[in-house]
Amino acid sequence: MGLINSTQLKIKEAQIIMLGLDSSGKSTLLYKLKCNEVFLTEPTVGFNVEMIKTSKDMTLTIWDVGGQQKMRTAWDNYLEDTDCLVYVVDSSDKRHLEESKKELELILRHDSIKNVPVVVLANKQDLPGALSAEEVTEKLNMKKQCQNQNCCLL
């Protein structure tokens, strides 16, 4: 008595992919989640991946994929078998908001993401001149983009 059969314990895992244009804050977010600290990060060439244990039976594997133009062509490869997509938008970078919108549209058209929850994160809200989450929602045309997708914007 008192012994637990290890096969009865179900460890839950989730694969999360973080995408967004370069310098949107994906790596900073990843390491804030992992270490609860803000680190000065370098632009990601390729990807960063971290496993984060959220509780005794849940582990998140978070993939932070570089957002430079040359990396975006590889984004499709990371969408397969993902459990959640976090798309990070730099709310203070109004010059690249249209580009970010187009990239998000391309991602949401991908078949492997159709039944996957999507979180759009309006990042860098603390910077002067940053758009509010509501303004980012409007600029990205989120109501239209999320008609056939489980989406939320934070």
The residues pairing with 153 across neighbouring beta strands, listed in sequence order, are 120
Which two tokens mark 58? 């849940």
Residue 27 labeled ligand binder: yes
Residue 44 labeled ligand binder: yes
SS (H, E, C) 101-141: HHHHHHHHCCHHHCCCCEEEEEECCCCCCCCCHHHHHHHCC
Residue 64 labeled ligand binder: no
Query: Of residues 68, 145, 147, 149, which has the active-site annotation?
Result: 68
Contact status, residue 151 vs residue 114, Cβ threshold 8 Å: no
Residue 60 labeled ligand binder: no
Residue 22 labeled ligand binder: yes
Residue 21 labeled ligand binder: yes
Residue type, 107: I
* Residue 68 appears among annotated catalytic residues: yes
Binding-site residues for GTP sit at 20-27, 67, 123-126
Binding-site residues sit at 20-27, 44, 67, 123-126
Q: Which residues are catalytic?
A: 68
Binding-site residues for Mg(2+) sit at 27, 44
